[in-house]
């Protein structure tokens, strides 16, 4: 029997198409559409752009009587996923997500394509369903990509591959597809199996997949758009699947900025890391340029891979969103625009996947992503990471944060290159977490201590001024009671190294730190110190967290940050502003700009938010009201103040240490052990300062009282 003129069997179809060898659209899709009468397709994502492009491709196909079924994954954001997981009506959530996608402002060409789509739906030529993974109470993205063509005599062509009907997928970024022709021996069974898989999917019989009809409201919106948009052919799209001409440009590559002067210790650090096969930890004092050192390393690595015609995927992990923003700026200075991965995955997922596809095709030599630790550990991003097969470099900023059990288990094992950055990679009283970090990233490749950094003028010199403040009567009573309880826990076998706030002794130690941090006498001493420096700019004040501890039954205690704001602004009339976790990111940037100007904002008042990674080199004077024996916290606060800046020769650090009055009836051995930890901080600050003798003189009476002169 002679095959009809429009027949799949007459096409010279290959069993495989790869974009590096041929034009997949022109060689496969266009001929198949010209011969087929039905088309069924399961793709990755539903977006306005992808549907518009798809509509343009099937218009002439539909005019010949062709029909099509499409299954796509709805574009759910984090809120949508949470709503479904909490039991909200699935169809309402999907309707909201679909309308949100269609309501996104679109260019005219996309609206024209969506108009075609609406007309095809109205004519009964196109039906759409939306699918997502639903398993064990969790929601995931439906990623499968299969398709089938059938013609008028029933011949079947099925295919599977990694391309999406997205702008990048249809117009440029196909990887490869495998094609199975139903009339060819060896292909027929596979072709029928893929068709059966689609039929099960369409009818909602695929395990762990939820398949929902396209929302009626979205359907009506598209049909209305079809009546409003002109039926004229789209510009340059006699056959819209034909890729438009693309002007070739040199792809972005990492390169050292012309203004950057690479310091000798940075060269040494990078060379040492490369000698360890691109793995290891840079233990460098805060303020010595760990970020730029890491980017120098990434640039050298990318250049080496380029010689082998291999791309490099760079993933930077940072604990907080404002640090992600800082890294984005740093990487842009090296010639590549990275993708910021935080907040809703709707903002980054498509871009990340498109860029990774381009890297796989050899079209993009560098993919750079900067993620918060939380977004990095999310299921969606972990799914992306698990599919990366190109050389992957993981750079962990403030790497000690990744030593927790939740984060270290998420670190990608497919990362060929690993670089950890931290002034203090050792986790405080967490040997297991420290060992896990070293096990993943490798040993310390380079170390630059604070003293050495000051000596080589990578950091500025500083004065350290400890301030001893006595507890008042109420605070002393609370303090004595807590010390007695701590003594009982120690006698029962607990350890001062147990800093877990959920443990009995950890809770007591936290309460004790609260009393010391909120000691009322600190405000009077702070007032005196501020008055002596009221003509100075670039001042930081670190406040204790929470509220002042109280006796049982008393009203809530005061908030130290509010008290300090009142003291600085209302009483001393100094221009000041708070900088806390609730401060929006845009406002934080404005505050830092005002502060760095040196003519507007004199004082920033913070709680922890200025600890990790915030770049404020102009800061010259720091008042540390909060009492912490965690070395990481005080080392980072000191580092904030020691960064070099124009006109900055020396910094001042005022450290407020609260102690019980002499003669307080207290367990001597326990108090001595607790105070030893406080003095360790003071000694760490003092020994590298320009006035260490003054520090020793200030602390001598207290050391003698508690027999700590050996420190």
The predicted structure's pLDDT at residue 49? 57
- Tokens in use for 224? 């209305």
pLDDT in tens, 347-403: 898 889 888 877 876 778 999 999 999 999 998 899 899 889 899 999 999 888 887
443 and 465 together in one domain: no
201 and 304 together in one domain: no
DSSP states of 113-171: HHHHHHHHHHTT-EEEEEEEEEETTEEEE----EEEEE-TT--EEEEEES--SSHHHHH
Confidence check: pLDDT of 553 > 90? no
Q: Which range is most confident: 81-95, 325-339, 343-357, 598-612?
A: 325-339
The predicted structure's pLDDT at residue 527? 97
**Half-sphere exposure for 343 (CA within 13 Å, toward CB):** 10
The answer to the question of residue 40 being in a domain is yes
Give the end of a domain, one of 228, 254, 273. Answer: 228
Q: What's the DSSP call for residue 543?
A: P
Mean pLDDT, to the nearest integer, of 308-318? 92
> Given pLDDT bands bounded at 50, 70 and 90, which one contains residue 237?
very low
Nearest Cα to 214, choosing from 56, 51, 33? 51
Domain with 698 in it: what CATH number? Answer: 3.40.50.300
What is the pairing mode between strands 126-135 and 138-141?
Answer: antiparallel
The predicted structure's pLDDT at residue 241? 38
Give the end of a domain, one of 228, 256, 291. Answer: 228
Contact 214, 98 (CB under 8 A): yes
466 and 442 together in one domain: no
544 and 611 together in one domain: yes
How does the average pLDDT of the chain come out, rounded? 83
Contacts of 569 (CB under 8 A, 6+ apart): 575, 576
224 and 313 together in one domain: no
The predicted structure's pLDDT at residue 240? 40
Confidence check: pLDDT of 234 > 50? no
The answer to the question of residue 255 being in a domain is no
Mean pLDDT, to the nearest integer, of 497-515? 79
Report the number of distinct structural domains present in the chain.
Answer: 3
Contact 313, 331 (CB under 8 A): no
* Alpha helix segments (H runs only) across 276-404: 290-307, 321-333, 349-360, 373-376, 379-386
- Tokens in use for 35? 């011969």
223 and 272 together in one domain: no
The predicted structure's pLDDT at residue 182? 94
The answer to the question of residue 688 being in a domain is yes
Integer angstrom CA distances of residue 235 from 104, 110, 246? 22, 11, 15
The predicted structure's pLDDT at residue 498? 67
The answer to the question of residue 572 being in a domain is yes
The predicted structure's pLDDT at residue 20? 66
The predicted structure's pLDDT at residue 313? 97
20 and 79 together in one domain: yes
- Tokens in use for 336? 């590549």
Contact 137, 82 (CB under 8 A): no
The answer to the question of residue 241 being in a domain is no
Least confidently predicted of 105-119, 324-338, 597-611, 678-692: 105-119
The answer to the question of residue 432 being in a domain is yes
Share of the chain above pLDDT 70, in %: 84
pLDDT in tens, 485-496: 988 988 888 877
Integer angstrom CA distances of residue 98 from 45, 88, 102, 127, 210? 11, 16, 6, 15, 16
What is the pairing mode between strands 366-372 and 392-396?
Answer: unpaired
Higher-confidence residue: 238 or 545? 545
Nearest Cα to 458, choosing from 418, 423, 420? 423
The predicted structure's pLDDT at residue 629? 56
215 and 272 together in one domain: no
Domain extent, residue 553, equals 460-470+520-705
Domain with 105 in it: what CATH number? Answer: 3.30.870.10
530 and 640 together in one domain: yes
196 and 335 together in one domain: no
The answer to the question of residue 251 being in a domain is no
Share of the chain above pLDDT 90, in %: 35
273 and 146 together in one domain: no
Q: Which range is most confident: 46-60, 152-166, 523-537?
A: 523-537
Give the C-alpha separation, 284 to 639, whole Å. 11
Give the end of a domain, one of 454, 481, 502. Answer: 454
Confidence check: pLDDT of 631 > 70? no
The answer to the question of residue 322 being in a domain is yes
> Given pLDDT bands bounded at 50, 70 and 90, which one contains residue 250?
low
pLDDT in tens, 388-414: 989 999 999 988 888 777 788 899 999
277 and 332 together in one domain: yes
The predicted structure's pLDDT at residue 168? 40
Higher-confidence residue: 556 or 346? 346
């Amino acid at each position: 029997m002679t095959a009809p003129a429009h027949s799949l069997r007459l096409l010279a179809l290959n069993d495989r198409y790869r974009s590096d060898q041929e034009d997949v659209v022109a060689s496969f899709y266009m001929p198949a559409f010209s011969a087929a009468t039905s088309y069924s397709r399961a793709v990755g994502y539903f977006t306005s752009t992808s549907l518009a492009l798809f509509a343009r491709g099937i218009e002439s196909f539909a005019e010949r009587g062709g029909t099509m079924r499409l299954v796509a994954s709805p574009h759910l954001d984090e809120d949508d996923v949470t709503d479904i997981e909490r039991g909200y009506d699935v169809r309402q959530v999907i309707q909201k997500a679909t309308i949100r996608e269609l309501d996104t402002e679109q260019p005219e060409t996309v609206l024209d394509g969506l108009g075609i789509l609406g007309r095809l739906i109205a004519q009964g030529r196109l039906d759409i369903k939306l699918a997502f993974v639903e398993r064990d109470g969790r929601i995931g993205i439906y990623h499968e990509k299969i398709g089938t063509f059938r013609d008028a005599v029933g011949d079947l062509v099925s295919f599977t591959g990694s391309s999406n009907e997205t702008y990048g997928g249809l117009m440029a970024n196909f990887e490869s597809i495998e094609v199975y022709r139903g009339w060819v021996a060896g292909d027929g069974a596979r072709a029928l199996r893929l068709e059966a898989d689609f039929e099960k999917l369409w009818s909602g019989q695929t395990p762990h997949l939820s398949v929902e009809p396209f929302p009626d409201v979205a359907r009506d919106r598209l049909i209305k758009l079809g009546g409003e948009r002109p039926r004229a052919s789209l510009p340059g799209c006699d056959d819209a699947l034909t890729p438009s001409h693309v002007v070739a440009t040199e792809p972005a590559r990492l390169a050292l900025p012309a203004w950057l002067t690479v310091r000798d210790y940075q060269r040494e650090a990078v060379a040492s890391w490369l000698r360890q096969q691109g793995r290891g930890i840079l233990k460098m004092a805060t303020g010595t340029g760990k970020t730029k050192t890491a980017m120098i390393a990434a640039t050298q690595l990318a250049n080496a891979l380029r010689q082998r015609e291999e791309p490099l995927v760079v993933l930077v992990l940072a604990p907080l969103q404002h640090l992600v923003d800082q890294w984005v700026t740093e990487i842009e200075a090296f010639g590549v625009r990275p993708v910021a991965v935080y907040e809703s995955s709707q903002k980054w997922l498509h871009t990340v996947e498109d860029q990774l596809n381009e890297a796989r095709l050899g079209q993009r030599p560098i993919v750079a992503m900067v993620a918060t630790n939380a977004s990095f550990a999310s299921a969606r991003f972990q799914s992306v990471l698990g599919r990366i097969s190109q050389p992957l470099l993981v750079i962990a900023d403030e790497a000690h944060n990744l030593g927790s059990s939740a984060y270290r288990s998420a670190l990608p094992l497919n990362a060929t290159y690993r670089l950890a950055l931290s002034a203090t990679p050792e986790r405080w009283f967490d040997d297991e977490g420290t060992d896990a970090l070293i096990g993943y990233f490798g040993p310390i490749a380079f170390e630059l201590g604070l003293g050495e950094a000051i000596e080589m003028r990578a950091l500025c010199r500083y004065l350290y001024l400890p301030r001893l403040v006595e507890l008042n009567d109420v605070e002393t009573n609370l303090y004595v009671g807590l010390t007695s309880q701590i003594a009982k826990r120690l006698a029962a076998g607990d350890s001062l190294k147990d800093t877990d706030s959920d443990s009995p002794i950890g809770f007591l130690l936290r309460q004790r730190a609260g009393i010391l941090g909120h000691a009322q006498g600190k405000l009077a001493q702070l007032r005196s110190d501020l008055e002596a420096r009221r003509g100075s700019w670039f001042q930081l004040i670190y406040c204790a967290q929470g509220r002042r501890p109280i006796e049982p039954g008393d009203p809530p205690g005061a908030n130290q940050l509010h008290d300090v704001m009142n003291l600085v602004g209302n009483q001393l009339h100094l221009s000041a502003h708070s900088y806390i976790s609730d401060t929006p990111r845009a406002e934080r940037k404005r505050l830092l700009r005002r502060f760095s100007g040196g003519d507007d904002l004199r004082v920033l008042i913070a709680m922890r938010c200025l600890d990790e990674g915030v770049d404020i080199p102009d800061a010259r004077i720091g008042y540390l009201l909060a009492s912490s024996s965690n070395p990481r916290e005080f080392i980072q606060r000191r580092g904030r103040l020691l960064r070099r800046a124009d006109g900055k020769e020396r910094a001042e650090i005022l450290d407020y240490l609260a102690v019980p009055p002499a003669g307080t009836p207290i367990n001597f051995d326990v108090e001595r052990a607790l105070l030893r930890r406080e003095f360790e901080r003071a000694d760490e600050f003092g020994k590298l300062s320009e006035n260490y003798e003054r520090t020793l003189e200030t602390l001598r009476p207290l050391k003698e009282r508690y027999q700590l002169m050996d420190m």
